[in-house]
Amino acid sequence: MIPPSPPPPAEKHLHLSDIAVVGGLVLVLALAVFNVLANMEAAGVSPGFGFLVQEAGFDVSGSLIPYSPGDSYARVILVGLANTVFLAAVCLVLATVIGVVFGLVSVGPSPIGRALALAYVEVFRNLPKLLVLLILFVLAVNGLPHVREAISVGPFHLSNRSVNFPVVVSNQRMWFAVAAAVFGLGIGFLWRARQKLAGRRSGAAETVAINLLPIALPLLAILVFQVPVTVSVPELKGFDFQGGGRLSLQFVVIAATLGIYHGAQIAEVVRGGLLAIPKGQTEAAKALGLTPWQSIRLIVLPQVIRIVIPPMNNQYVNLVKNTSIAIAVGYSDLMSVSGTIINQSFKPLEMMLITMGLYLALCLGLTTTFNRYHRRLTRRETR
């Protein structure tokens, strides 16, 4: 017997109410734009983005890319964006590690650990993040030693001005090692995709070999192409350290503040995800002879990840937006350079639009990535 064919999908039609709502929104937006332009013309202000090519004329507290006050406004906006992205990336990693650790402790067997985790979460969930930032900044400035008396652990130095550490000096031949690392990552990606299409599971030895390729190939390239590896070590000369890498005290304090603050939020998310797993599943795993680590890795962790990704996504977006509090301690992030440009160029509307667009792009890119990952995990679960 031939089974009946499924009904055709229902056609979607635009209703008059939908058209009216969209038209109303467009009309309100057009009126707002017209009103703003009319007021700017009455005040003798000409709108436009031509100011972006003008000389900035001000310095920044730190830059990941080459910059001087003689560069353009567009260049300093790029500097602020790079600083914001780097700060957000460090804070995301730090907050995730702190949150996962305290989330696990909060459901652990130790009563003292659970009490400490609860105290940490309740304190930092109920304090303004700006207050935490200012307290940590004052403690760091007054509690850490001066540069000449910096706390030194080998080539690493901590003072009330910065954190200094050794870095590898880049050169022209270093690109061979970078290309080898990218090639190793590409091979690993293609290999995993092929295994997935073939429906095969790789052995432990193959997995280890593929994971080591991005490390082994650059080392091989360094040996074959004789890439010189020079390490710049910070040395105290005069009133400050010269050479090596540097993280400003402002950056360290902001990263610690957002890591601790959002770590408390993430700890609650992780705790909720762990408590959402039925206890009978871990008991069944124990009855089957699985070790505690196997039970966590194969049963608990895959389910917890699917549960916590949506609320974690929300926390990550909030963290990216909260990097704007860096302006309170003088770190040159996107908000800081935008405010300085507004004061110098008298282009508040244009700079606000640029800043809003950049923050929107960062947050949308982050949420889109996590939403796609969550959908992929959900599809895998329903198969």
Q: Which two tokens stand for residue 24?
A: 């109303």
pLDDT tier, 117 (very low <50, low <70, confident <90, very high otherwise) = very high
Which residues, in sequence order, are CB contacts of 179 under 8 Å at separation 6+? Answer: 221
% the chain with pLDDT above 90: 35
Mean pLDDT of 285-294: 82
pLDDT bin (cut points 50, 70, 90) of residue 7 is low
When pLDDT is averaged across residues 343-357 and rounded to a whole number, the result is 90
Report phi then psi at 199, rounded to 5: 70, 30
User: Given a cut of 70, is residue 179 above it in pLDDT?
Assistant: yes
- So what's the pLDDT on residue 83? 93
Token duo for residue 310: 């949506």
Question: SS3 helix, strand, coil % of the chain, rounded to 5?
Answer: 70, 5, 25
Q: In this predicted structure, what is the pLDDT of residue 115?
A: 94
Number of Cβ atoms within 10 Å of the Cβ of 41: 11
Q: For residue 83, which amino acid is it?
A: N
Alpha-carbon dihedral angle through residues 250, 256, 258, 262, given to the nearest 10 degrees: 180
Distance between CA atoms of residues 125 and 263, nearest Å: 9
Q: How far apart are CA 335 and CA 331, in angstroms?
A: 10
CA quadruple 142, 146, 147, 150: dihedral sign: negative
| 350-355 contact pairs (CB < 8 A, 24+) | 350/47, 350/48, 350/49, 350/51, 354/49, 354/77
> What letter does residue 155 receive in the DSSP assignment?
T
Give me the chain's average pLDDT, please: 86
Model confidence band, residue 123 (pLDDT cutoffs 50, 70, 90): very high
Quickly state the pLDDT bin for 251 (edges 50, 70, 90).
Answer: very high
Q: What is the pLDDT of residues 13-28, one digit of tens each?
A: 667 788 888 888 999 9
The model's pLDDT over 317-336, given as tens digits with 9 standing for 90+, comes to 999 999 999 989 888 899 99
* Mean pLDDT in residue range 66-77: 91
pLDDT at 6 over 60: no
Phi–psi pair at 133, nearest 5 degrees: -60, -45
Residue 1 pLDDT level (bands cut at 50, 70, 90): very low
- The residue behind tokens 């800043």 is 355
Closest CA to 277 of 259, 295, 254: 295
The C-alpha atoms of residue 128 and residue 325 are separated, in whole angstroms, by 11
Q: Out of 70-79, 153-162, 284-293, pick the least confident.
A: 284-293
- Answer whether residue 209 shows pLDDT above 60: yes
Backbone angles phi, psi at 215, to 5 degrees: -100, -40
What H or E segment, with its residue span, contains residue 109? Answer: none
- 346-355 own/partner pairs: CB under 8 Å, 24+ apart: 346/45, 347/51, 349/36, 349/40, 349/47, 350/47, 350/48, 350/49, 350/51, 354/49, 354/77
Residue ranges of domains in the chain, CATH in brackets: 73-148+249-382 (1.10.3720.10)
pLDDT (mean) for 183-187 = 86
For 280-302, b where at least 16 C-beta lie within 10 A, e where not — what string? Answer: eebeebeeeebeeeebbeebbee
